[in-house]
A and B are shown apart, each in its own frame.
Chain A
Amino acid sequence: GAVVSQHPSWVICKSGTSVKIECRSLDFQATTMFWYRQFPKQSLMLMATSNEGSKATYEQGVEKDKFLINHASLTLSTLTVTSAHPEDSSFYICSAIPLRAGGPSDTQYFGPGTRLTVL
């Protein structure tokens, strides 16, 4: 149980285009999902917290107009990288916290990641 999927697993796009990445919780509901980015051989940096039915909360230094997040249902959050540039090339990973009776779980479950390359 607690499986999170991401689509696509990799994407190559031209500079200036927008790219949408989906994060789905397959066998559980999640009111909260998180988006991270990871550069090669580095740790995960939290970009934003995605809350179902409300606006995302962005970490300091992350441009909300560039990284649009939509959490439209209890099983889906999307991250859209708008007007992508080569410096946006990275590994984007989402995670979700299962909603259980008594409150959210303590554990985040991670998707397999999406590798974005902007030419």
Chain B
Amino acid sequence: SQQGEEDPQALSIQEGENATMNCSYKTSINNLQWYRQNSGRGLVHLILIRSNEREKHSGRLRVTLDTSKKSSSLLITASRAADTASYFCATALRSGTYKYIFGTGTRLKVLA
């Protein structure tokens, strides 16, 4: 399977703490994106990082990309209860099909 792996599968933290999720993938990519999904809902785009970028920030989100290790991490700082959701990484392949391969996801629970 081409599907990426994410770890941890589940993460439970206290409000105010930082949450780190990791994503590993198998093939060369054009870009990698992170999405959030609240239970039973669609996906919300969080951030895109291109293969020639190493780090990107957006508000409380920080994403890193290491193409040599084929891995990415998503850091959410000062987490809030509203951050409780599943987080997925998605890799866009170099084939130019704009097709995404989704990771297995991390279920984050932020306790108030």
Contacts and interface: CB of A to CB of B under 8 A. Distances in A.
Given A43-B103, A93-B43, A110-B35, A49 B97 contact: yes
A115 B92 contact: no
Nearest to B47: A107
Interface in A11-29: none
A112 interface: yes
Nearest to B103: A43
Contacts of B104: 42-43
Give the size category of B's interface with A: 20 to 34
Interface of A: 4, 6, 32, 34, 36, 41-46, 49, 91, 93, 95, 97, 104, 106-113, 115
28 contacts: A4-B42, A6-B42, A32-B98, A43-B103, A44-B43, A44-B102, A45-B102, A46-B99, A46-B100, A46-B102, A91-B40, A93-B42, A104-B98, A106-B92, A106-B98, A107-B45, A108-B33, A108-B45, A108-B98, A109-B45, A110-B35, A110-B42, A110-B43, A110-B45, A111-B42, A113-B40, A113-B41, A115-B40
Given A32-B98, A43-B103, 5 more contacts: A44-B88, A106-B30, A107-B45, A109-B45, A113-B42
Interface of B: 3, 30-31, 33, 35, 40-45, 48, 88, 90, 92, 97-105, 107
